[in-house]
A and B are shown apart, each in its own frame.
Chain A
Amino acid sequence: MLAIVPSATLNGLDGRLIRVEVDVAPGLPGFTIVGLADAALQEARERVRGAIRNAGFVHPPRRITVNLAPADLRKAGASLDLAMAVGILLGSEQVRAGGGRVALIGELSLGGEVRSVPGVLPMVSALARRGLRRVVVADAAVDEARLVAGVEVCGVATLEAAVDVVRARRRARTGVVPPRIELVEGSARGGEDGLPPPVEAAGRVVPDLEEVRGQAPARRGLEVALSGGHGLLLIGPPGSGKTLLARTIPGLLPPLDDAAALAATVVASAAGEGPVHALRRQPPFRSPHHTVSYAGMVGGGPHLSPGEVTLADQGVLFLDELPEFGRDVLEALRQPLEDGRVAIARVGRAAIFPARFQLVAAMNPCPCGFAGSTDRPCGCPALVPGRYQRRVSGPLRDRIDLWIAMPRVAPSALVGGPDPEGSAAVRGRIAAARSVASARPHGLLNGRLTGRLLREACALDASGRRALIGLAELERATGRGTERILRVARTIADLAGSETVRADHLEEAAWYRPADLRLAAAEAS
C-alpha cells in the first residue's frame, strides 16, 4: 500500500518541502530509496529499520520503495528519517492516519528516539509557505519551530510519540510567537535592550571596553566603525591590544531588529550550531582562524553549507592576522563586501547566501611584528614593513574605511591613569548614531553609502567643501579616497549629533586613512 508523508530538507539556507512516498509491496524483502539521495540518506535505511523494530513495531518483510519528490533535487541529511519510518508503518498498515496532513522532521536513532536536525526553522517556514499547518519535530527543536507563526508544532521524543500524533491521539501545540519568516532586506535598528550578557561562541565572557587601557584613537575608531558599519583595520605589534579590543565588539553592538534577528536566526539554525530557543538578537561575531579554507570562508562543500561570511551575516567578521589569510580566501571576500551576499554554484546546484557583515581586521606592522616599536628593534629588512602593509590591497583596501595604527602602550598608562569608559556607555552612543543613520530615507548604514546617496547624506556647505578639497590631497585626490573621508565623516557627525558634516568631522575622518598613504608621506619627508 502507498503512503505519502510530507517532510523537508535543507538546501543551502532554504527549507524545501519533500514528499516522502513509501510503497510497501509484495515481493522479495528489500528497502530502496530513490530520488537523488546522498550517502547519509542511504544510511537512513538502517536507522529506520532499527528504530521501527526497537520501538515495538514490525519492519515489514516486503519490498519497500521510498521515493523522495521532487526527484531532481539533491537531498542530504537525516531530516527525512522520521517521515520514512512513519511512511513504512502507514504503508504496512500497522498505523492508521487520524486525519489531517502532518509533516514530520527529525532524525531517528536505532532505539527509536527522535533527534533534532539543523535548519528546523527554515524547513518549517518552507512547509508553512506551502500550506502545511501541522509539524512534528524533535522535542529539542520545538522552540525553534514555533518561531514560525500559524503552524501547529508538536514536539516528540520517540517514534512512538510521533505515531501517536499521526493517529491524532495527541494534540499539537500552536505556535504563538508572532514574526513571519520572510527574509527581507533591511538594516539593523536599535531594539529593546536588557538582554543577557553576550557570550562568545567559545563560551568565554566578552571583555568590557574598560579593560582596554590607552589606545585612545583605536577605541574612538572602533566606536566610529561600529556606529557606521565601516570596515576597520587595526595595525599594531603583538601585545598592543588589537585582539582584546576586537573581542569587546559583541558587547558594543546594539541588539538586532526583528528582520535582522530573523535572518541571523535562520543562519544559526541552518548551520546547526546548538539549539535555537528564541530569535537571535545578539549580532553574530565570527573570528575564523587564518588557516580557514576557501569553502570555509565563503561556504560550499558537499551540502552547500554556509561559510564564515554568511555566519557573520548581520554581525561582524573579525580577521586576525589579516595578511596571513590565503590570498584566494581574501580575494573571495570581494563579492560579499560589494553585494552583501555570496553566490555559490556547484554542478547542478546553486545557492545564494546572505553575507551582510561588517569587516574588522587586525595585523602586525611587519612580519616580525615590531616595526615602529621603541622598546624592541624590528628584525625585518628595510623595505619589508612597507611591503607587508601594502599587502592589504585591492578589494579589501577599498572596503576598509578606518585604518588605525596601535603602538604599544607605555607601562605607566597600563597601571595608572584614569579608568577608561566601559562598554555600556559606548554601546549607547553607537545605538543612537545607528538610529540616526537608519532614519534617513534609504535606511542604510553609512558604511554602505556611495555616490549620490553619500553626497545627499552629507550635504556639505561651502566651508566643508573647501576642507574636503584640501583633505583629498592626503588621499592622493582619488575619488575612492574622498568618498572614504565623506562616509566616515558622516558617521562622526552622527555620533556628535550634528545634522551637517563640518570641517572638523572631515579632518578626523581623514586621520583614519590607509597606512600606505602615511608610509609614502613619511618616505618623502
Chain B
Amino acid sequence: MLGVGLAGPVGGDGIEEASDLGPVGPATSPPATRPWVQTGEERDAWAVLAGVHGIGPVAFAALLARYGDVVSILREASSPGGVARLANPPDDVLPDAAARALGPEVAQAIAEAAGRASATLARIRELGLRVLTVEDPLYPMRLARIEMPPHVLYLLGDPAALSADAAVAIVGTRRATDGGRAFAARLATNLVAVGASVVSGLAVGIDGAAHAAAVHAHGTTVAVIGSGHAVLHPHAHSRLAASIVAAGGAVVSELGPDIAPSKGTFPRRNRIVSGLADATVVVEAPARSGALITASWALEQGRECFFVPGAVDAPASAGCLSYLREFPDRARIVAGIPQLIEDLGLADRLVEPDVPTDVAATLSGIGEAAKRLAHELVRGRATVDELVAATGWPVASVLAGLTLLERRGLAVGIHGRFRPAGTLAGTDPGRRRQRPRPARLATSGGPRA
C-alpha cells in the first residue's frame, strides 16, 4: 500500500526539486551531474547529513545516488511521509541492494537532523569547525583517492595541513613502552626536519608522543579523531589538540561534532589516518592492536607501510613482527631513522643547518659538565646511579648538570630514568653519517667565485 501510494510523489518531488534548485545553484548544471563548485546551501546540507549518527560513507553514497544532491535528501526527510520513503525506496527507483540498507531509525534521524539543520550549522560555527566536503578543492587528494573516502571532514585548524606535499602516519599502541614513545617522538622530529607532516590518531601512547614531538619541533601534524570535536577523546589530550592547531596543524573528524566515540568509530577512523598519509609507520603494536588495523588499511589503500621490528620477545612489538612475517613482500621494515627517511624518498630534503643534529653543535654554549652528561645520556645511560658511575662525579654535580639539560629541553626524565630529548633525541651516539649536500655547496660557492 505504501509503495503504490507514494511512488508518484517521490518522482514528483524529484522534479520539483530540480526546478527549485534553479535560482540557487547555477542553472546550467543539470541535477544529475553534481556541480563542481558546491553552493553554500549544498555544502551546509552535506555538513548536516554527514553529522547524522548512523550515516557512514556507504549510506551517504547510496542516498546521494538516489537523490542527486543532499539538499533534496533533507527536503525529502522533512516532507510528510518522507521518512518512510527514505527508508523504503521503491524497487524501480534504485535496484541496488545497498540503497535499501537504510534503517528506519536512521531515516528518522535524518528527518530530525533536517529539522535541526540551522542549529547544527550554528553549532559547527560556534566550535570554529570548517567543513570540507569531498567535492571541495581543499579536500586532500590523497584521501579522495581511497575507497570510501569520508564525504565530509569536520576540521579544526588549517585545511592546507591535510595536503602537505609529504605526509607520514605514525601509529602504535596506547600501552607504549618508554622506548617506543621516545622512538615515535624522534621519528616525528626527524620527519618535521624534512618537511613532512605527521599524521596520527591523537590517542595516548605512540600517537600522542608523535603529535607532541611534531608540535615541539614547530612542524605540521594532523590528528584524526574517532569522535566528534565537542566530545574529544581522550579528554586528556585536549590541550595537545589545541597546541596542534596553534602550530598550524589540523584536527579532523568525519563524525558530527557531538557524536560520542564508540567501539566502531576508531577502526573506521583508522582508514582516514592511513589515507591522509603517503606511508604509515607502525612503531609498537602488540598482537590485535588497533594500530594494525591502520596498517591493514594502508596496505589495502596501496600505501607503503613500515614496521619498527622491536625485540623478538617484546610483547609490545608482537603485532609488528607478525605483519613483517605474514606480508614479507609488502610490509617494510624500519632500519633506523636515517634509513627510513631514505626509504620514504625524503632524504634529499634534509636541510641540515636548520636542525643541529650533532651533539657537539647542540651543546655549544652549555657547560662542560652538562656536555659530558649529554654524551652519556645519548650513549644510553639512564639512571643517576649509572651517570654517577660513568662520570665518577659527586651526585650533587650530576643532579645540577641534569637540571641544566632538562631546562634546555635536551633531556627528560620520568620515574627516575632520563633520556635525551629535543634536538638531542635525534642524534646517534657519535657516528652520524655526514651526507654531502651538493646543491648547498654550489650556491654557497657561487658568490665567492
Contacts and interface: CB of A to CB of B under 8 A. Distances in A.
B412 interface: yes
A413 B385 contact: yes
B415 A525 contact: no
Of the candidates A214, A404, A417, A505, the one having the most CB atoms from chain B within 10 angstroms of its own CB is A214
A365 interface: yes
Nearest to B204: A382
A473 B216 CA distance: 16
Given A216-B395, A382-B204, A236 B414 contact: no
A321 interface: no
Contacts of A372: 178, 414-417
Contact of B409 (A365, A409, A525): A525
B416 A236 contact: yes
Contact of A518 (B185, B384, B404, B414): B414
B402 A511 contact: yes
A383 B402 contact: no
Contacts of A385: 415
A217 B415 contact: no
Contacts of B178: 372
B136 to A, nearest CB: 33
Contact of B403 (A409, A474, A523): A474
Contacts, number: 114
Given A372-B414, A381-B175, A383-B204, A508 B383 contact: no
Given A381-B175, A382-B204, A525-B212, A504 B400 contact: yes
Contact of A523 (B212, B396, B407, B413): B212
A521 B412 contact: yes
Interface string A346-365: 00000000000000000001
Contact of B407 (A365, A374, A471, A525): A471
Given A216-B385, A220-B395, A511-B403, A523 B416 contact: no
B416 A525 contact: no
A377 interface: yes
Given A372-B178, A492-B396, A524-B216, A508 B403 contact: yes
A512 B216 CA distance: 25
B403 A405 contact: no
Interface in A179-228: 214-217, 219-220
Contacts of B412: 518, 521-522, 525
Contacts of A525: 185, 212-213, 216, 409, 412, 421-422, 425
Contacts of A398: none
Nearest to A473: B407
A340 interface: no
A274 to B, nearest CB: 39
B414 A519 contact: yes
A518 B419 CA distance: 12
A405 B315 contact: no
Given A470-B407, A504-B400, A521-B406, A214 B385 contact: yes
B160 interface: no
Nearest to B388: A216
A507 interface: yes
Interface in A368-413: 371-374, 377, 381-383, 385, 404-407, 409-410, 413
Interface string B152-181: 000000000000000000000011111000
A474 B407 contact: yes
A417 to B, nearest CB: 8
Contacts of A236: 416
A510 interface: yes
A471 B385 contact: no
B128 interface: no
Given A382-B174, A519-B414, A523-B208, A508 B407 contact: no
Contacts of A381: 175
Interface string B224-239: 0000000000101000
Interface residues of B, number: 43
Q: How would you classify the secondary structure of chain B's contact residues: helix, strand, loop or mixed?
A: helix
A518 B417 CA distance: 11
B210 to A, nearest CB: 12
B181 to A, nearest CB: 8
Nearest to A525: B421
Given A508-B399, A511-B403, A383 B234 contact: yes
A382 B205 contact: yes
Contacts of B422: 525
Nearest to A523: B212
B415 A405 contact: yes
A403 to B, nearest CB: 11
B409 to A, nearest CB: 7
B79 interface: no
B339 interface: no
B414 A507 contact: no
A518 B383 CA distance: 15
A507 B176 CA distance: 32
A7 to B, nearest CB: 57
A405 B414 contact: yes
Given A214-B385, A521-B406, A220 B213 contact: no
A216 B397 CA distance: 12
A296 B409 CA distance: 45
Contact of B395 (A217, A409, A504): A217
Interface in B190-244: 204-205, 208, 212-213, 216, 234, 236
Given A507-B400, A511-B402, A407 B416 contact: yes
A367 to B, nearest CB: 14
A363 to B, nearest CB: 12
Nearest to A213: B385
Interface of A: 214-217, 219-220, 235-236, 365, 371-374, 377, 381-383, 385, 404-407, 409-410, 413, 417, 470-471, 473-474, 492, 504-505, 507-508, 510-512, 515, 518-519, 521-525
Given A217-B416, A372-B415, A518-B414, 8 more contacts: A216-B398, A372-B416, A373-B415, A382-B176, A405-B413, A410-B385, A510-B407, A511-B403
20 contacts: A216-B385, A217-B399, A217-B416, A235-B416, A236-B416, A377-B177, A382-B176, A382-B204, A405-B416, A407-B382, A407-B383, A407-B385, A417-B389, A511-B402, A518-B414, A522-B413, A523-B208, A525-B185, A525-B216, A525-B425
Which 7 A/B pairs are nearest by Cβ-Cβ distance?
A: A372-B415, A405-B416, A507-B400, A407-B416, A511-B399, A382-B204, A525-B421
